[in-house]
Amino acid sequence: MGADPDDDYIHNAARLNVMRHVITADNVSDAVDSIIDKLKKSDLSNVVYFDGWEGLAASAVLRAVAERLTLGQIADPELKFEKIIHIDCSMWKSRREMQRKIAEELDISEAKYIFDKKNEDDDFNWINESSRDVIDKIAIAINDTLMSQRFLVVFHNGSDDEMNMTDMANFGLPMYQKFKGNKMLWTFRGRFRLNHKIQDKVEDADVFLSAKFPDKNHWWDILCVEAEEVAFNTCPEIAKLDKTQIAMCWLYISKLNYVGSGIIDYDWTTHASNYWVCDGIIQELDIGDALYQVMRQDSDDPGLYYLMGNTDKWISTSHVFSSNYGFLPVPAVANTVSSFFLAAHQVDTEEDTFGLLEYFIAPKLNTAKVLQDFNEMFQTTEYLRVLKLSRCRFRFASPPFLCCRRLRFLGLDKCLDLETDAREEVQSWNCLYNLWVLDLRYTNWVFSQQMIDEMVNVRELNVEGLSPYNLSHIWGWQSKNIRKLRVMKTIDQQSVGTKEAKDTLTLTSSFSQMEKMEILDLSGNSAMQAFPDLSKAECLKTVTVDGCVGLESVSTSNLPASIEVFSLVAASEQYPNAANITSISLCGCRGLKKLVLSGLPNIEELDLCGTLLEQLDLDAMQAKILRRLLLLGCLYLRAIRWSDVRRPQVEELLVDTFGAHYDSNHRQHSLPAVQEDGKLFQSHIVVIDPRLLLSLNMFARTSRFVHFCISPASAEHSKGEGASEQGVSKQPWNEHADPKISMNSYKDIFDRVVELSVAPLICPCPPLPLQSNCKGSCKVDIISGEKLQEYDDILGVFTDIVDSLNIHDDICMTTVPGSNWGWLKWCRIEKCPKLHSLFQLRDHEQPIAFSWLETFWASQLQTAQSIWSIEFKPVHVDSFKKLQYIHLDSCPRLIHVLPLSNNLPCLETIQILYCTSLIYVFPLNTANSKEAATNESVNFPKLRHIHLHELPNLNGIYEGKTMSAPNLETVMIRGCWKLRHLPDVTGSLEPRQTIVDCEKDWWDNLDGNNQSLLYQRRSAQHYKKALPKGSILRRFFLLLAE
C-alpha cells in the first residue's frame, strides 16, 4: 500500500512461473464472480491462487466462494462439485491439524479417536505440535471418500510453505484425476499477512490472481473486511469486537511502525493491548492481548498510502540533532492527538553520533530553551492518553506533561533529569490520577508521596534499570489495583554486596496489599537473595524471575496456589551467569501449567507436587546432581525430557499421577503407599498411563532401588488392597472371579469361609530379593494393564532390567507384556480374570529364558491355561536354572505350568492348590518323539517341599518317566486322586524317609512297591471319606475349585 503499489506488485508477480491475472473489483462479491469462472470444469486451471488486494481480503473472498458454491446458488453444471472442502488454516498449527480439518469436513467417523490417540502418543514422546505430520490411516480414509467424487478444495494456508499437488496427495486428497475436474483455490493471505515476499513461494499454481480497485476510495472498506476475518473463527472474546475496532488496532501498530520503528522501542509484546485500551480503541486488556496473538505483524510495506488520513491522532516523532543544524525543535502537539511517542534521534553519519550525544547532555546547552520547548509542546493536548518519551531530558520535579489531565499511559525510557537552580515545588500531580499504565526504563524518577497518592488507578507498573535508592519507593507502593508488576534489572552489578543493595533486597518481601496482582516479573535482579512473600496475592498467575541468579531458594510458603506460569532462566544469552539456587518448591500450586527452568547447576531439590504440568524439561535445567525430584499428584504429566540421566543425576525420584495427599492446608504431600518391602526403594514412579515410563527408561537402568507402578486406582491401591502382613490375600476371590458368587447376597459369608479354609494352607510369599550392597533393583507393579495391551512394546524395554514383577487386580490384561524377562528374580501375579497365558516364549535359537527367576507366585487366575507357553523346542539349559519357589492357587483352567526338558537345579518348593484342570505341572518339552520323551528323566536336586491340594485331574508332577528329588523332605497331598507316582528320593547323601501327609485311600492306591521304604505316611488330622456326589458340601467345594 506504499507509493506506486501496482508497479511493485506486478514486478513481484512477474518473477513467478505462473499465469498472472489482475481482476478489477470494488468489493468481495465482484471478486467472487471473477474467481468462480476459473473453477469451471472446462477451464484447464486446476490450482488457482488468489492474493487479494495487495494481500487484503483474500481470505474473505475464499470463504465467500466456498459458501456460494456450497449453497448451490449457481446453476452452471460446470460448477457443480459433489464436495466443497473448506480448510481454514490461516492460524497455522501443524500439517496434522490441517488433516484433522479435512477429516472433519468429510465427517470421517473414526478420525477423532485416531487423531486424539496419535496426539497423545506424541505428547508422551515430546514431539512438538508444529512438527506433527499427517497420519497415513486418515489419508487412506480421505482418499477412499473422495476417489469417486468431483471436489473443490478451498485452502487458507497459514504456513510458510506452499502446498503443491504432491503435498495434497499426502493428506489424502486425490487431486490428480484427469477427467474429474478437481480444483484447488488457495491463498497465503489472511489475518493481515501482508508481506510481499510470501508471493515468491507460489510456484505450483496454474493461475495467480490478484485484485485492484478502479479508484482509491475502497481501501478502508476492504481493510474492515480483513479485520472481520480476524474475528471469525477465533476466541469468543475477539468475536465481541467490531470490525472497525480491529481495523483501527492494526492501523495503530502499522502506522507507528512505519514512522518510528527505527527510533523508538514500542515493545508491542508487552504494550500493544495497553496502547489500544488507553487510547480508547478497545475497552478490555484481555481482549487486546488475545487480539495481538492472532493478528499477524509481518507486513513489509505498511505505508498507509491510502489510509494516512485515519491515523493523524497517533504521532511518533523525534528530536533531531545534526552537526550542521543543531537542535531542531518539534512543534506543539495538536489538540486531536491521543497517542504521542517522542524520541531524541540523530540523523547524521555514525562518526557524528558521539558528538551529538555529548551535545545533547552537555551542561553548556541552553537548557532554558529546551525546557521552554517541552512545556509548549503539550499545552494544547486535551485528549492525549498515551505518551512515551525516549532519551529526552527535562526537569523531573516539574515535567512537561503536567498539563495532560487525561493521561492513561506514561512511558519514560532513558530520560535524564534536567537539574536547574530553580527548585520549584509542583502544587498538583493531577496528571497522574487517571494513569493506568506507568512504564519507567532506566529513568531514575523518584516518586514522592504526593505522586503515589495520585496514582491510585494504576493497573500496571513496569520498572527497569532503577537504582537501589529509587527502588525503595517502588517496594513501598502498595496499590491494591495493580494487576501487572514488572521490576526488572533494578540492581546495578556495581552495587552488589553493598549495604544499599542488601537493604533494598529485604524490601522485596512486602506484597501483602497487592491482592489483585496477576503478573509479577522480577527478571534481572541478580543480587536478590530472598524470594518475596506472595502468599496473599491470590490472583497471581505468572511469576518470572529470569536472571535472578542470587536467589537461594523458592518456597511454597511464599506462593499462592493460583500460580499458572513460573519461569527462572539463567545461563542464557540475556542472562549469562548461572543461578545459585539450590531448592525450588512449587508444591500445591494447583494451577501451574507451564514451568521454565534453565541454567540451574546447583539445584538439589525440585518439588512440583500437585501441579498441572504436562511436560518437564530436565535437560534445560543443566543441573549436576538433583538429589530429590518430587512429582506426586501431577495428574497430567506426560513426558520428562531427560536425554542424559547423568545430568542431572537424580538420587530420589517420586512420581504419582493419581493425586498427592495434602493436609488440611492443602500444602503438604505424603509418599504413595507401597508394600512393606517396597519401602526399601529410593524412587517410586506410580502412573496411570504406562507411556510416561518411556521418559524414565534410562533412569531405571542407572539408578538403585526403583519402584514402578501402573494402576488406574488411587495410590493407596498400589500396594494391593487386602494384602495381609504375611503377603496372603485376604480375599482369594473377587467380584470378577465368579459372577454367580458376586451377586450372592451371602457373599461376605462365602468370602469368610474361603479365607478360613484356604489361608492356613498357604505359605507366605517370599520377600523381594533385595540386597543393600547390590548394584540396583527395579520393581514393576501392574494393577491395570489395559494400555499395556495397546503398547506392549513399552514394558518390553524394561524386561532386561526389571528384577521384581507384581501384577494384581487387573481385569483387562490377557497376557503379560514382554517375552523374555532376562533379569526377573521375583514374580507375583494374582486376581487377573482375563489372563489366559502369562508368558509367551517365542521361537529363537534356544533362548535363555528367566535364567534369574527365583520366586514365582500365581493366584486366582480364572482363565489362565498355562503359565509359560513355549513355542519352541528345546529350552536352553540355563533357563529357569535359579528357580526356587513355585506357588499356584485358584487357577481352575490351568492345564500345565512349565514345559520341561532340563533339570531345575535350584527348585526347593512346589505349592499348588485348587487348580482343578491341572494335568501335569511339568509337561514334556523336547524335540524328540512322544515315545522317546516318556523315557526321559529330570533331576530336582534341591527340591524339599511339595504341597498339592485339590487337584482332581493331576496325573503327575512330571510327564516323563522319572522325576528325581533326592533331598525331598515333606509332601502334603489332598484331593489328588489321579496322582499315582511320587518323585524318586533315592540318592540322598543322608538316608532318611520323606514325610507324606495324605489321605489313606490315596496312599493305598499309589503305584510302586517301595513306597513304604522311601516315604513315611503321616495321617491327616481330620480324615473323612469322599462326600457323596449329590451332597451340598461337595457342590460347594467344587464351586470353590472352579
Query: What pLDDT does 305 receive?
Result: 60
Would you say residue 283 has pLDDT above 50?
Answer: yes
From 561, 580, 784, 523, select the one nearest 662 (Cα to Cα): 561
From 988, 928, 925, 1005, select the one nearest 958 (Cα to Cα): 925
Strands 855-859 vs 956-958: parallel, antiparallel or unpaired: unpaired
Query: What pLDDT does 724 receive?
Result: 34
Does residue 118 form part of some domain?
Answer: yes
Does residue 323 form part of some domain?
Answer: yes
Query: What pLDDT does 1010 receive?
Result: 59
From the CA atom positions of the chain, what is the Rg in Å? 40
Cα 662–chain centre separation: 24
Q: Which of 458, 476, 492 is the last residue of a domain?
A: 458
Would you say residue 767 has pLDDT above 90?
Answer: no
Q: What is the pLDDT of residues 754-766, one digit of tens each?
A: 454 555 566 778 8
Does residue 730 form part of some domain?
Answer: no
Q: Give yes or no: residues 275 and 370 share one domain.
A: no
The CA distance from 850 to 865, in Å, is: 19
Q: What is the pLDDT of residues 36-47, one digit of tens each?
A: 988 887 777 889
From 466, 484, 549, 555, select the one nearest 520 (Cα to Cα): 484
Range of the domain at 124: 5-212
From 273, 465, 259, 286, select the one nearest 342 (Cα to Cα): 259
Please tell me which residue, 628 or 648, carries the higher pLDDT value: 628
Q: What is the pLDDT of residues 425-461, one digit of tens each?
A: 666 888 899 999 999 999 888 888 888 888 889 999 9
Q: Give yes or no: residues 27 and 158 share one domain.
A: yes
Query: What pLDDT does 374 receive?
Result: 58
Residue 758: helix, strand or coil by DSSP?
helix
Q: Give yes or no: residues 301 and 318 share one domain.
A: no
Torsion, Cα of 285, 288, 293, 295 (10° steps): -170
Query: What pLDDT does 530 receive?
Result: 87
Average pLDDT rounded to a whole number, residues 269-283: 95
Give Cα separations from 947 to 898, 950, 962 (angstroms): 17, 10, 19
Burial environment of residue 631 by CB neighbours within 10 A (0 to 12, 13 to 18, 19 or more): buried
17: domain CATH number is 3.40.50
Query: What pLDDT does 969 receive?
Result: 92
Does residue 396 form part of some domain?
Answer: yes
Q: Give yes or no: residues 36 and 143 share one domain.
A: yes
Does residue 368 form part of some domain?
Answer: yes
Q: Read off the pLDDT band of 903 (50, 70, 90).
A: confident
Query: What pLDDT does 37 receive?
Result: 85
Query: What pLDDT does 375 receive?
Result: 59
* In 537-662, beta strands by DSSP E: 542-544, 553-554, 565-569, 583-585, 594-598, 605-607, 615-617, 625-632, 639-641, 649-656
Q: Give yes or no: residues 301 and 417 share one domain.
A: no
Please tell me which residue, 755 or 570, carries the higher pLDDT value: 570
Residue 1023 makes CB contacts below 8 A (sequence gap 6+) with 999, 1000
Q: What residues does 998 pair with on adjacent strands? A: 1019
Does residue 9 form part of some domain?
Answer: yes
Strands 615-617 vs 594-598: parallel, antiparallel or unpaired: unpaired
Q: Give yes or no: residues 349 and 381 share one domain.
A: yes
Average pLDDT, the chain: 79
Burial environment of residue 548 by CB neighbours within 10 A (0 to 12, 13 to 18, 19 or more): buried
The CA distance from 426 to 751, in Å, is: 89
Residue 295: helix, strand or coil by DSSP?
coil
Residue 370 makes CB contacts below 8 A (sequence gap 6+) with 327, 393, 394, 418
Give the phi and the psi of residue 167 in degrees, each rounded to 5: -60, -45
Please report, rounded to a whole number, the percentage of residues in the chain having pLDDT higher than 90: 36
Q: Which of 309, 324, 347 is the last residue of a domain?
A: 309
Q: Give yes or no: residues 424 and 403 share one domain.
A: yes
Q: Give yes or no: residues 336 and 348 share one domain.
A: yes
Does residue 562 form part of some domain?
Answer: no
Q: Read off the pLDDT band of 544 (50, 70, 90).
A: very high
Average pLDDT rounded to a whole number, residues 82-93: 93
Q: Give yes or no: residues 368 and 426 share one domain.
A: yes
The CA distance from 487 to 520, in Å, is: 8
Give Cα separations from 691 to 53, 303, 536, 642 (angstroms): 50, 53, 38, 15
Q: Read off the pLDDT band of 1024 (50, 70, 90).
A: low
Q: Give yes or no: residues 66 and 206 share one domain.
A: yes
- Can you give 836-866 as a three-state secondary structure string? CEEEEECCCCCCCCCCCCCEEEEECCCCCCE
**Could you identify the residue written with the cell 512537561?**
400
Please tell me which residue, 592 or 2, carries the higher pLDDT value: 592
Peptide bond preceding 874 in cis form (omega within 30 of 0): yes
Q: Give yes or no: residues 77 and 155 share one domain.
A: yes
Would you say residue 250 has pLDDT above 50?
Answer: yes
Does residue 156 form part of some domain?
Answer: yes
Q: Give yes or no: residues 157 and 249 share one domain.
A: no
Query: What pLDDT does 667 receive?
Result: 40
Count of domains for the chain: 3
Q: Which of 286, 309, 332 is the last residue of a domain?
A: 309
Would you say residue 30 has pLDDT above 70?
Answer: yes
Q: What residues does 438 pair with on adjacent strands? A: 410, 461
